[in-house]
Amino acid sequence: MSSALQKNRPGAAFPFDNSYVGLPPRFFAAQAPTAVAEPWLIKLNEALAAELGLDVETLRRDGAAIFSGNLVPEGAEPLAMAYAGHQFGGFSPQLGDGRAILLGEVVDRSGKRYDIQLKGTGPTPFSRRGDGRAALGPVLREYIISEAMFALGIPATRALAAVTTGEPVYREKVLPGAVFTRVAASHIRVGTFQYFAARGDTDGVRALADYVIDRHYPALKEAETPYLALFEAVCERQAALIARWLHVGFIHGVMNTDNMTVSGETIDFGPCAFMDAYDPATVFSSIDQHGRYAYANQPAIGRWNLARLGETLLPLIDAEPDGAVDKANAVIKSYGERFQAHWLVGMREKIGIAGKEDGDLDLVQALLTLMQTQGADFTLTFRRLSDLASDNATESEFAAGFREPDACGTWLAQWRERLSRDPQTATATATATERAIAMRRVNPAFIPRNHRVEQAIEAAVENGDFSLFESLLAVLSKPYNDQPGFAAYMQPPKPNERVLATFCGT
Ligand code: AMP
Ligand code: MG
């Protein structure tokens, strides 16, 4: 198996160490960003920059020029990646980075390799009819939500910087233009594999698979059947990831195969949003009219997308087609069990159970059903249950979140009975407090509530006021801490504040 990865090379603002550019030329198009009129640095994520070993001083000084694409830093080898994808079930054999440019890669202090990508930097050979630009609103949304996901402990691409361009972008109306700088373990998608498979380019699929194994799953180099092992490993990471989404009420919104990474990171925060009141059918995206990507459909869509990945790998899995299909099918079948296991582990933690009993699934389901029929807020219910575990809240405070407070009594009695049998309870005297602490670590107080995100975006877009954006980022950076000064940020929207639809703004 070939290795495209090189040694770290110390450099100027970015110690670039590029490997994707070493893949065959048909994998990408060399493309420099298009300069903009008047770049202004909204935000630099200094903590992330430092972790990545970047020169923070230089970025403070030249950040507007660098993160707008006006100044291509030394060592960058800018390119647009080729990929394909199923969008809402329909296949497009050629998508690619239509408005994004990979500047290059850096290796962080712990030895992990990351892509530095600018999004909104003008047309590329993959732009089709698009302008290659991004509007300020979606840039701020991606900044807020990707950083919130990171703080929640959920694998996600990260936000390094946001700039305004001083140029208008034309959507349904004229909007301020912006560029987002994204950091990702890589930008390789299920759709990247599909790009080569759709062309019958098995050598391309193999070169990509070897690169992915090298970069994301190096242990598999020793596996007996590395490509089948790769497929299984990607299924495992996606099963774990989608379970984590469900645990915090996250709805991705556009789970197209070009928006699903093989690294297991959440990517492309277009019309994504967090659910307030629990309803498994929740959809926010204005373009998802049939609810394909609704909250509770996400595990099944993950499976569908992974089946598409499996198809691209068939010629590598086994030279004998029937054998390849059987092996890939067995992996896809295991995805459901993997997802269910991850989901249940997390749900047990959310209700404070350390052990395992057969009835736990029913207990969890009963709470979810109750929340749904009683219009209870997903996040607050679990956070208040954590308080209840250590008697920091009364049952009536917990029950106040339900339309008919009396409706929770039976479930709470079953829950307490289950806790009394839990191993934690039998061994320690301080267990109630310990249990509550453990529950608070998995049940956030703060999520990026959609109405807060929209308020922050509106203030920035309409009035150039970034103060709400800043305070939201600050609160969301510690989602599991009580932050009494920000108690209002915990609250669901009032009826007049509710935001029912989100737009990807592309
Ligand atoms: P997305 O819906 O953001 O995942 O994008 C789907 C595809 O459309 C990708 O190939 C993007 O690069 C491309 N795209 C989205 N917006 C634009 C734009 N404004 N200009 C050019 N290409 C775009
Ligand atoms: Mg995308």
Instruction: Give the model confidence (pLDDT) of 245-292 as tens digits.
Output: 999 999 999 999 999 999 999 999 989 999 999 999 999 888 898 999
For residues 183-203, give the mean pLDDT.
98
Residue 4 confidence class, pLDDT cut points 50, 70, 90: very low
Instruction: Give the model confidence (pLDDT) of 296-352 as tens digits.
Output: 999 999 999 999 999 999 999 999 999 999 999 999 999 999 999 999 999 999 999
Q: Is the pLDDT of residue 205 over 50?
A: yes
For residues 452-468, give the mean pLDDT.
97
3-state helix, strand, coil in the chain (%, to 5): 50, 15, 35
Please indicate whether residue 445 or residue 504 has the higher confidence score (pLDDT). Answer: 445
Q: Is the pLDDT of residue 7 over 60?
A: no
Task: Please identify, by atom number, the ligand 1 atom nearest to the C-alpha of residue 258.
Answer: 4
- Does 96 appear as a known binding residue? yes
For residues 366-389, give the mean pLDDT.
97
What is the phi/psi pair of residue 120, to 5°?
110, 25
For residues 35-60, give the mean pLDDT.
97
- Does 259 appear as a known binding residue? yes
Q: Is the pLDDT of residue 11 over 50?
A: no
pTM reported for the whole predicted model: 0.96
Q: Is the pLDDT of residue 12 over 80?
A: no
Query: Are the C-beta atoms of residues 117 and 445 closer than 8 Å to each other?
Result: no
Predicted local distance difference test score (pLDDT) of residue 427: 52
Residue among 53, 308, 75 nearest 189 (CA) = 308
The CA 334 to ligand 2 mean position distance, Å, reads: 27
Tokens 């698009």, residue located: 130
Residue among 414, 455, 461, 410 nearest 164 (CA) = 461
- Does 99 appear as a known binding residue? yes
Q: Which of 81, 87, 99 to mutate to test the pocket of ligand 1 (most atoms within 8 A of CB)?
A: 99
Q: Is the pLDDT of residue 428 over 60?
A: no
Looking at the CA of 94, name the nearest ligand: 1
Predicted local distance difference test score (pLDDT) of residue 447: 98
CA distance 293 to 84: 19
For ligand 1, atom 23: residue with the closest CA: 98
Predicted local distance difference test score (pLDDT) of residue 499: 86
CA distance 501 to 396: 33
Q: Where are the domains of the chain?
A: 3-190, 208-348, 351-440, 450-497
CA distance 9 to 5: 12
Q: Is the pLDDT of residue 425 over 70?
A: no
What is the phi/psi pair of residue 183, to 5°?
-115, 125
CA distance 366 to 362: 6
Query: Are the C-beta atoms of residues 147 and 472 closer than 8 Å to each other?
Result: no
Is the C-beta atom of 34 inside 6 A of ligand 1?
Answer: no
For residues 66-80, give the mean pLDDT.
97
Instruction: Give the model confidence (pLDDT) of 462-495 as tens digits.
Output: 999 999 999 999 999 999 999 999 999 999 999 8
CA distance 331 to 377: 36
Supply the mean pLDDT for the chain.
94
For residues 349-363, give the mean pLDDT.
96
Is the C-beta atom of 155 inside 6 A of ligand 1?
Answer: no
Is the C-beta atom of 96 inside 6 A of ligand 1?
Answer: yes
Q: Is the pLDDT of residue 356 over 90?
A: yes
Q: Is the pLDDT of residue 173 over 90?
A: yes
Give the active site residues: 258
